[in-house]
Amino acid sequence: MSNSTAAKRYAIALFELAQQKNEIPSVENDLRELKLVWNGNKEVKTLFTSPKLSLDKKKALIREIFKDANPIVINTLLVLIDKKRLGEVSDIITEFMVLSNDAQGIADAKVYTTRELSEQERANVSAVFAKNVGKQSLRIQNIVDPSIIGGMRVQIGNRIYDSSLSTKLDRLKRNLIG
């Protein structure tokens, strides 16, 4: 979560507008892509936060680059340019995702396994662990990590459920030594 009060306010306004227009899924998808571009490419962030580029040129670039994006997202970016808050895009998106997930009863989860999970396995993990955190379902990011040897490690927010073989072996080792 962001520490910026402004990012929270912009995210709330963006979420409420998307909710009023019944476009939360579309806005959320566009924001996910925007975050990948924004955080994955330093040149993009540098270009749009540079004081050397005029506001009009920044707006023209936004309209051109994101021409296929939801108009709500484009207009939000244009407002952020006017208010000189474009540097907070990542925090605004993070805050929006929190609001969206809460409204939909979804939690984001990282699931570490030794191999890629099938759709059925993802559904099973989601069904079991969503109840533990009081949500309807999980949006799972599966991370393949051979170092866990077997089993799985599930991280939902700041909660970690670890039934990996590597953790069990470490625990056994500590018990035998100590």
- Whole-prediction pTM value? 0.76
Positive or negative, the CA dihedral 125, 127, 132, 138 is positive
Distance of CA 66 to the CA centre of its chain: 19
Distance of CA 102 to the CA centre of its chain: 13
Distance of CA 150 to the CA centre of its chain: 27
d(CA 69, CA 73): 7
In the prediction, which pLDDT does 4 show? 79
Q: Determine what percent of the chain is predicted with pLDDT higher than 70.
A: 98
In the prediction, which pLDDT does 1 show? 44
Provide the CB-side half-sphere exposure for 147 (13 A, CA). Answer: 2
Q: Which residues contact 74 (CB under 8 A, 6 or more apart)?
A: 62, 63, 66
Paired with 155 in beta bridges are: 110, 160
Query: Could you give the residue range(s) of every CATH 1.10.520.20 domain in the chain?
Result: 5-101
33-75, pLDDT tens digit by residue? 999 988 888 888 888 888 888 999 999 999 998 889 999 999 9
Mean local confidence (pLDDT), 153-175:
94
CATH topology of domain 5-101: Peroxidase; domain 1 (1.10.520)
Contact 114, 150 (CB under 8 A): yes
